[in-house]
Structure 1
Amino acid sequence: MGDVVEPESFQPTVLLTRHLIDQGMRRIGFLNENSRAYETMHDRFEGYLFAMRQAGIEPDPRLVKSDIGGEFYDPGNFERIVESYTVLPEAVVCGNDEIAKYLTQALRRKGIRVPEDVAVTGFDNDEEGMLDPFFTTVNVDVKWLGKRMVQCFLWRMAHPAAPYEKIVVSGEVIIRKSSIKHK
């Protein structure tokens, strides 16, 4: 047990999901590696569920894949995920940009266009891993996150008996081409 510094994951995912809903999308899926094992990934899944239910939309279980596990980032795994869609989602909220990238590549190999056929969002603003169209995502300021971690560590050294803290650093939703549906 100890202090924790992490990015805010729930509220930005609510905003990402609402962005899709506000465009009239209802068949919105969720794709994540392991929502049960990682708190931030769990918070992203909960943010997606909250936004869907707040809009009166019950998530379609055929489109929600929140605990894949195994060799998740194997490209063949994403081929199987796309093949498993018995109904094509209008959009997929992904747990991070890497997942969004692999999903987009698998969709394209099946002739499915992003965002024209399926809108895709990511998380983390990993510009190096982005494809065209660039992903709608959440920018996590990793430099600021790192500074807060160092500050927390130094403060803890000076105050070892103080109660543990959880510091949540907000992120900024960035709307890009990957989530804007063309009518």
Structure 2
Amino acid sequence: MPSDAEPAPVSAKTPVTLREVAAAAGVSVATASKALNGQGRMTAETRERIRETARQLGFRPNHLAQSLLRKRSFTVGLLTNDTYGRFSLPLMAGVSDALVDNGVSVFLCNVEDDPRLGQMHVEAMLDKRVDGIIATGKRIDRHLPVDLSNLRVPVVYAFTQPDPGAVGLVSDDAGGARLAVEHFLRLGRRRIAHVSGPASFAVVHTRAQAYRDVLEEHSLPVSEPLLGQWSEGWGRDAVAKLFSNGRGREGWPDAVFCGNDQIARGVIDALRERGIGVPEDVGVIGFDNWEIVAEATRPPLTSVDMNLAALGREAGLALLSLVGGQPAAPGIRKLPCRLVVRQSCGRPPGG
């Protein structure tokens, strides 16, 4: 029969103590501690029996106490102002991949664009005795809104502007742009346009200069890049400018290199509406390889991938070295991009 009694209130369970593990295993507290820490002399059977007892009881060691003894917390803070997570989340996956085998955990703090919030998070990280901090952001030409230059723990910058004398890692945007334009050339495309984002972004100019350099190296005409917004709407507007000049199909571009995947998707949609085939008439390449956009585009979008997970992994390894007392050369290190080829460019001549 159902009971009219009120259910018992939910409360946190009392943590299992080392003394309880020792009692259940029939050993001393000292022996249990040594077994769980991989220390002391005992038979393998005894050590495994103690560890199995701890697992069954749900015992969790006091990492804070251990960190005080080792002078390490085995935690790393990741600061970002990338509220959407477009860049910081894949980078964090790479950082975690580098650190997990060393028993180091990563926790993420979003500072938005608020200096007070950023300072609060930094102080909280220091209070938690983090071994180091990785700073990342939503663009590589801006500092995070917090001063990290004189902390008592090492700091590595990834995909954000580093402080002078610090270690910084960024993607090679010029190299990525080269990959895109050179791929068009291998496909036989010769009238290549470039549509990118706002002029206030340093990467816009870096990629545009690489675009010009490749075309000039092959003695091909260079049209001035069209700069606008990081949006599908701008991609559609750019098509109106590129394909409504009265020159007819012979004067139209046969390829468009876009500054990001959203622009590229707008370009492809606008070309389709004009009856211009992609990739039959015009090839399109994006930048970022944002898979949720690139793979859903029709046709699927070829795009430059900035290798953010690999960049995060290198940042994590660099921080581990600094924490371990190994010095690192200051300055910005550029990591190569890669081209992810899908169907938006077409096949090479005869192929």
Question: Structure 1-normalised TM-score?
Answer: 0.80
Letter in 2 for 1:37: S
Alpha-carbon distance change, 180 to 148 in structure 1, aligned in 2, over 3 angstroms: same
- d(CA) in 2 for partners of 1:163, 1:148: 14
Q: Which moved more, 1:117-126 or 1:148-157?
A: 148-157
Percentage identity across paired residues of the two chains: 25
Amino acid at match of 1:110: R
Among 164, 186, 203, the residue aligned to 1:40 = 203
Q: Which runs of 5+ in 1 are unaligned?
A: none
What SS does the aligned partner of 2:228 have?
coil
Note the C-alpha offset of 1:151. 4.7
CA spacing shift, 1:141–1:163, aligned 2, 3 Å = closer
- Contact 1:7 1:170 survives alignment (8 Å): yes
Residue aligned with 2:300, SS = coil
Tell me what 1:121 maps to: 285
Letter in 2 for 1:82: V
Distance across 2 between alignment mates of 1:108 and 1:92 = 14
Structure with greater contact order relative to length (CA < 8 Å, sep ≥ 6)? 1
CA distance in 1 between partners of 2:211 and 2:299 (Å): 22
Instruction: Tell me the alpha carbon deviations over residues 36-70 of structure 1, each in whole angstroms, 9 at most, x when there is no partner.
Output: 43233322212211110000012133xx31x225x
- 2:187 matches 1:28: no
- Deviation track 1:2-35 (CA, whole Å, cap 9, x = no partner) reads 143211111232122122122322210001002x
Amino acid corresponding to residue 239 of structure 2 in structure 1: V
Q: Is the 8 A contact 1:29 1:92 kept in 2?
A: yes
Match of 1:4 among 159, 163, 168: 168
Q: Which runs of 4+ in 1 moved over 4 A?
A: 150-159
- The one-letter amino acid of 1:56's match is S
- How far off is 1:175 after superposition? 2.4
Cα distance in 1 between the residues matched to 2:263 and 2:172: 18
SS in 2 for 1:56: coil
Q: 2:241 aligns with which of 78, 84, 109?
A: 84
Distance 2:187 2:329 in 1: 44
TM-score, length-scaled by structure 2: 0.44
Residue in 1 aligned with 2:345? 179
The aligned counterpart of 1:73 is 231
User: Residues 43 and 152 (structure 1 numbering): CA distance in 2 closer, same or farther, change over 3 Å?
Assistant: farther
Q: Which moved more, 1:115-124 or 1:38-47?
A: 38-47
Which stretch shifts more, 105-114 or 89-98? 105-114
1:84-143 Cα offsets, whole Å, 9 max, x none, are: 122421000111222211211122222222111110001222110021322222222222
**Do residues 109 (structure 1) and 266 (structure 2) align?**
no
Q: Name the SS for the 1:25 alignment partner.
A: coil
RMSD of equivalent CA atoms: 2.7
CA contact (8 A) 2:302 2:340 kept: yes
SS at the partner of 2:344?
helix
C-alpha distance in 1 between matches for 2:264 and 2:177: 14
Is the 2:172–2:337 contact (alpha carbons within 8 Å) kept by the matching residues of 1?
Answer: yes
Are 1:145 and 2:311 matched, yes or no? yes
3-state SS in 1 of match to 2:210 = helix
Whole-angstrom CA distance in 2 between matches of 1:74 and 1:103: 7
Q: Is the 8 A contact 1:115 1:182 kept in 2?
A: no
